[in-house]
């Protein structure tokens, strides 16, 4: 029997000559930050989404923080959001001494359940923060009916579309994208806020740069700010990546189709795959997350896959059950049962644009073997 020793990574960015050339051009220019590549990247991204403005920042987390400030979230406010997300979406609320108010998720899309979100709104609710989890569009149109400010966590959802044809991030709310190395495009680290309101753009541009207005000297600042800038080096990388976005999205969709076909050929009982697109909604593929059968030890499965050369990862833990949130807010098991069930069973499988059908087949074969054992 042939033993396959190649490790299949969880994620792998696509970097080529165009990225190298644009980054080298910035390095040779000597202007590594607050240069022309920043505005060029913002304009190209805004055009892609069909919005008026964009503000590039140092991370998706920084973007969420500045966006929440821009819509007026302050100490004592409440923000309704999802407990199934990367912890940054909730942490950003705490940065302003506001309170994250969780509502359970839809069992199919895994996004914020709109009825649960409506029930969580109180007189203290200042904003809603839906998360487009795993690249599937949240029901933002339904949330708009409440008339509250919305900040969209679109960090995983570049390339996704709502049923009405608008891209995720194109509805005019502050919508935050992330560019970590496993995202649809990468700048290494980095993020961007898509914006429909010029006032938000002016405020965010200032606050990402220590509170300095465009016409002020570098030692003069008229408001509290942060060091949330994105360098021109990173923006050059982003420009090149944006130019190949359609091809990378198509490759991601191809890999997802290969997974579906491999699992369909020999189904695993009680294994839940990512939901199919429905009603005109379209996912922007970020990760391929499956929910293991209820009888299976998720963490033991991850260890067994690693021993077979397959990287995988829990995706994602329930935020309210993390130790910091338990201790600070008194959360306990059973409060958001759908989220808790999904979080306990979900793992992300290897998923990246250059992944081959042979690699997909091997991942599925090894997962079946582990579950069978």
Answer yes or no: are the C-beta atoms of 309 and 6 closer than 8 Å: yes
Beta-carbon contacts of residue 92 (< 8 Å; ≥ 6 apart): 61, 64, 65, 68
Annotated catalytic residue within 12, 18, 183, 201: 183
CB 239 within 8 A of CB 43: no
CB-CB contact of 286 with 52 (8 Å): no
- Give the distance from CA 1 to its chain's centroid: 41
- Alpha carbon distance 62, 228 (integer Å): 6
CB 92 within 8 A of CB 59: no
The full length of the chain comes to 373
Three-state SS annotation for 141-153: HHHHCCCCCECEE
Instruction: Report H helices in the chain.
Output: 17-29, 36-49, 60-70, 88-95, 114-120, 140-144, 198-207, 232-243, 245-265, 298-307, 323-329, 337-345, 357-372
Assess whether 183 carries a catalytic annotation: yes
Residues designated catalytic: 183
């Amino acid at each position: 029997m042939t033993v396959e020793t190649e490790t299949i990574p969880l994620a792998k960015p696509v970097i080529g000559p165009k990225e190298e050339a644009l980054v080298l051009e910035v390095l040779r220019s000597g202007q590594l930050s607050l240069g022309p590549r920043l505005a060029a990247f913002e304009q190209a991204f805004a055009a892609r989404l069909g919005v008026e403005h964009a503000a590039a920042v140092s991370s998706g987390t920084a973007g969420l923080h500045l966006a929440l400030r821009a819509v007026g979230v302050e100490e004592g406010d409440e923000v309704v959001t999802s407990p199934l997300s990367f912890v940054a979406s909730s942490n950003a609320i705490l940065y302003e001494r506001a309170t994250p108010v969780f509502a359970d998720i839809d069992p199919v899309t895994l996004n914020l359940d709109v009825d649960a979100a409506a029930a969580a709104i109180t007189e203290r609710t200042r904003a809603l923060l839906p998360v487009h989890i795993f690249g599937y569009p949240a029901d933002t149109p339904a949330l708009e009916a409440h008339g509250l400010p919305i900040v969209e966590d679109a960090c995983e959802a570049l390339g996704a579309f709502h049923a009405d044809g608008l891209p995720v991030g194109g509805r005019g709310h502050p919508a935050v994208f992330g560019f970590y190395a496993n995202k649809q495009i990468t700048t290494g680290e980095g993020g961007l806020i898509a914006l429909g309101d010029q006032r938000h753009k002016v405020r965010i541009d200032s606050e990402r740069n220590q509170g300095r207005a465009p016409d002020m000297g570098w030692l003069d600042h008229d408001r509290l700010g942060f060091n949330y800038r994105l360098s021109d080096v990173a923006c050059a990388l982003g420009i090149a990546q944006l130019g190949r976005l359609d091809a990378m999205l198509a490759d991601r969709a191809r890999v997802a189709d290969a997974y579906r076909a491999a699992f369909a050929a020999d189904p695993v009982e009680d294994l839940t795959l990512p939901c199919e697109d429905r009603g005109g909604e379209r996912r922007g593929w970020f990760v391929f997350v499956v929910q293991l059968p209820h009888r299976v030890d998720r963490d033991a499965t991850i260890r067994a896959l690693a021993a077979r050369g397959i990287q995988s990862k829990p995706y994602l833990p329930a935020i309210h059950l993390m130790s910091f949130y338990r201790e600070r807010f008194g959360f306990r098991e059973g409060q958001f049962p759908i989220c808790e069930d999904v979080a306990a069973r979900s793992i992300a499988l290897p998923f990246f644009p250059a992944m081959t059908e042979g690699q997909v087949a091997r991942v599925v074969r090894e997962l079946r073997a582990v579950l069978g054992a």
